[in-house]
Homo-oligomer: A and B are copies of this chain.
Amino acid sequence: MNTEHSLKEEEAGKVIGANLRQFRINKGLSIEALAKQIGVSKLTLIKIEGGEANPTLSVIWKIANGLNIPITALLSIESDVSIARKKEGLQLISSDDVFIVEPLFRSHDFTEFYRGYLKAEKAYVSDPHQPGVIEYITVMSGELIVEVGGESYHLEEYDSIRFKGNLPHKYVNPSSSLTILHFVITYNYR
């Protein structure tokens, strides 16, 4: 599991250090130049990059702001390449025969990807998620009605919707054919 909250405490400092170094070098800045630019001492930056610091939020903010990147980019881990094929029989999350969900890239970066199938003329009521969760749904085939926040949104092929996942929401397939969906769930964000 390459997820963030599987980090040990000391590791958080190494993550931010490695990320800072990567971003700084990518921008062609020396430690001293960056220090001067953002108003943080050179030694502080050296310690952070070396993973041997416990920086305060304000210093983290100054770095992210100075590099013009989101704070979260400094606290993130990532890796290589992976593929999710439709053919490969991925495990189904909810196979109540009406709404079927296949995880694609699971719990990675706290952005999760799913492929979903909603049968013709069927509906599915989703449990609300934690606050901070955002859902992005794209209709890859067919059509979909999303009911959320007291409103009803009718999506056609290749339309997308974005909403706060902590609101109760419902998916309806009003058509007479299968609707194929693409879900992105984020657990974050600015």
Tally of this chain's copies: 2
B81 touches A3 (CB 8 A): no
A190 touches B71 (CB 8 A): no
CA gap between A160 and B106 in the complex, in Å: 12
Which B residues are in CB contact (< 8 Å) with A109?
134, 186, 188-190
Which B residues are in CB contact (< 8 Å) with A84?
159-162
Q: Count residues of chain A with CB under 8 A from any CB of chain B.
A: 82
Q: Identify 29 residue pairs between A and B in the complex whose beta-carbon atoms are under 8 Å apart, listed by A's number.
A: A2-B190, A5-B65, A9-B62, A13-B58, A15-B190, A22-B132, A23-B130, A26-B130, A54-B58, A55-B56, A57-B60, A69-B187, A71-B75, A76-B189, A80-B149, A81-B148, A82-B163, A83-B153, A83-B161, A83-B162, A86-B157, A105-B136, A109-B186, A109-B188, A111-B136, A111-B184, A113-B162, A140-B182, A182-B182
The 5 closest A-B pairs by CB, nearest first: A4-B190, A109-B189, A76-B189, A72-B72, A77-B190
A contacts, CB < 8 Å to B: 2-5, 7, 9, 12-13, 15-16, 19, 22-23, 26, 53-58, 60-62, 64-65, 68-73, 75-87, 104-105, 108-111, 113, 115, 130-132, 134, 136, 138, 140-141, 148-149, 151, 153, 155-164, 180, 182, 184, 186-190
